[in-house]
Amino acid sequence: MRYLSLPSLNLSPARRRWILWVAAGALLRLILIVFPRPSDDDAGVYLELGHNLLHRGIYGIADGADLTPSIFRLPGYPIFLATIELFFSSLWQNAWMNAVFAVQAIADLAGGVLLAAFARRQISPRAAEIVLALAMLCPFTAAYAGIAMTESLSVFAVSLGIYAAGRAISAAREGRRDNWALVLAGSAAALAMLLRPDGALLFAVLAAGLFVYTARQPSQVPASRQLRPAIVSVALFSLVALAPLVPWTWRNWSTFHLFQPLAPRHVNDPGERVNLGFYRWMRTWSVEYASTGNVFWHVGAESIDLADMPPRAFDSPAQRDQTRLLIDEYNRTNSISQDLDDRFAALAARRIRSHPLRYYVEVPLLRVADMFLRPRTEAFSTDAFPIDLYWWRWSDHLRQTAFAALLGLINLGYVAVAVWAFVRRRVPLPWILGGYVVLRCLLLATMENPEPRYSLECFPILIVAAGAALSGRASSPGASAR
């Protein structure tokens, strides 16, 4: 009897380990998808926008029987949801959202592989494997694969941008231009901007980084001509990145007579009043996620309890009484009138005049620290294991506190090792990677509603930096050739 023999895959030990890391990452994301994830109002908005666009041809939110065009969310994620619904709702009628989660999980895994490829080229093969392991086992990026929000695709866009920029800059070091890498980098920036307005940060950093790193390469041509390759590279990148925004910008101009290439900062449609005074007042004291949950999210829907505000929200007993009067007036209707908003603005102005250093330096720094260092429990609360907003009250829920503390330690590990790598100058292309983190921190410092998920897009940089630190080698060009 003859036996049929299958050809050997003949994989190297390193390739086998890469496959195992990716398999472990896939298993982690599958587990997180299987368990019911927390619901969020943003997810409902994205789903309605996508559904209305697919079935009624209008990108907007219904108000009763009226469905009017909207501008307050970028179209990238709703179009993604509408596409999945179009292809999978007939096959998977009652559970087509599982296809959304599967695609997001694949994107997250692909992003980790791209980061590892970047590390292999820019640092070393050892660093690449460490980066792959950190990306595959990162619980914070993995958790959002099972939530209908933009985070997974936004993180993928950052990872793709880092990989493509690294590839383009490596080509420039060799005296050539990698047009395919520039197209990929532009596509990453376009995806980031179509998902969230803060995606413009990725565009700005990649454009500046490509110009700086390409222009500074050794060249035998006269100095007057050394800028030409950099200008051409940035022009191609920018063309690819900005072209997808043209239809959206034109739609907003033709529909609303408004030049709006991204989305409004305060998530409002044209003509809607924004509570700018209230938001400014919150920025004088709001630094933590608990304040977002107990105060910011209650506006327009629920009453606000003065006891949920920290002591830093009041400079004196008299100011506490004044704040109570404003909150009591809000609680009577659960809405903020123009007059009430003006009084919040006046209170904010007095607080800023009394403590300008606190408003412009201390509170923004604390806000950014909270978004980076908080245990990120918001993505892991399930119906079977809800995690309280005040997770640190161990006497009320010891298991929740222990789990939150574990998440906090894991998060701190990623952040601390990455910071050490930047301090020791081990991070490759620091003007791109470090520049993105700095710009994002500056943006997060201005927000009145701190949420840990807003810092999630920095995790691709943290993972690469941590891989550079743990590999034991400083970054160097041409690492993949070693």
What pLDDT is recorded for position 3? 44
What pLDDT is recorded for position 25? 97
CB count, 10 Å around CB of 79? 16
pLDDT in tens, 89-133: 877 766 788 999 999 999 999 999 999 999 999 999 999 999 999
Query: Higher confidence at residue 471 or residue 14?
Result: 471
In a domain, 457, yes or no: yes
In a domain, 360, yes or no: no
Angstrom distance (rounded) from CA 32 to CA 245: 33
User: How many Cα atoms are found within 13 Å in the side-chain-facing hemisphere of 181?
Assistant: 20
Split into its structural domains, the chain has a count of: 1
Residues 6+ apart with CB under 8 A from 338: 273
- Ramachandran assignment for 57, one of left (phi > 0), alpha (psi -120 to 50 degrees), beta (any other): left
pLDDT in tens, 391-409: 888 887 888 889 889 999 9
Q: Is residue 481 predicted with pLDDT exceeding 70? A: no
Q: Is residue 479 predicted with pLDDT exceeding 70? A: no
What pLDDT is recorded for position 9? 57
Classify residue 17 by burial, with Cβ atoms within 10 Å: 0-12, 13-18, 19+: middle
User: End-to-end CA distance of the chain, in Å?
Assistant: 48
What pLDDT is recorded for position 474? 55
**Residue 438 has which token pair?**
């700095």
Largest Cα–Cα separation, the chain:
96
CB 338 within 8 A of CB 272: no
pLDDT in tens, 46-61: 999 999 999 999 999 8
- Phi/psi for 69 (5° steps) reads -60, 150
250-276: string of b/e by CB count within 10 Å (b at 16+)? eebeebeeeebbbbbeeeeeeeeeebe
In SS3 terms, 327-373 reads as HHHHHHHCCCCHHHHHHHHHHHHHHHHHCHHHHHHHHHHHHHHHHHH
pLDDT in tens, 5-45: 445 557 788 888 999 999 999 999 999 998 877 667 788 89
CB 454 within 8 A of CB 406: no
pLDDT in tens, 335-386: 999 999 999 999 999 999 999 999 999 999 999 999 999 999 888 877 667 7
In a domain, 251, yes or no: yes
pLDDT in tens, 144-194: 999 999 999 999 999 999 999 999 999 998 888 999 999 999 999 999 999
Residues 249-253 have a mean pLDDT of: 95
What pLDDT is recorded for position 10? 72
What pLDDT is recorded for position 6? 43
What pLDDT is recorded for position 397? 81
What is the DSSP code string of 79-121? HHHHHHHHHHTTTSTTTTHHHHHHHHHHHHHHHHHHHHHHHHH
What pLDDT is recorded for position 426? 93
Percent of the chain scoring above 90 in pLDDT: 73
76: domain range? Answer: 13-265+404-481
**Residue 311 has which token pair?**
């002591």
**Residue 121 has which token pair?**
């080229």
In a domain, 245, yes or no: yes
- Closest Cα to residue 163, out of 100, 110, 219, 230? 110
What pLDDT is recorded for position 331? 95
The CA-atom distances, in angstroms, between 370 and each of 209, 364, 417, 455 are: 28, 10, 18, 10
In a domain, 345, yes or no: no
User: Position of tokens 């009897």?
Assistant: 1
In a domain, 307, yes or no: no
Angstrom distance (rounded) from CA 8 to CA 400: 48
In a domain, 413, yes or no: yes
In a domain, 409, yes or no: yes
Q: Is residue 480 predicted with pLDDT exceeding 50? A: no
What pLDDT is recorded for position 203? 98
pLDDT in tens, 299-336: 988 999 999 999 999 999 999 999 999 999 999 999 99
Q: Is residue 271 predicted with pLDDT exceeding 60? A: yes
What pLDDT is recorded for position 208? 96
pLDDT in tens, 422-453: 999 999 999 999 999 999 999 999 999 999 99
pLDDT confidence tier of residue 482, bands split at 50, 70 and 90: very low
Strands (E), 168-225: none
pLDDT confidence tier of residue 476, bands split at 50, 70 and 90: low
Counted residue by residue, the chain has a size of 482
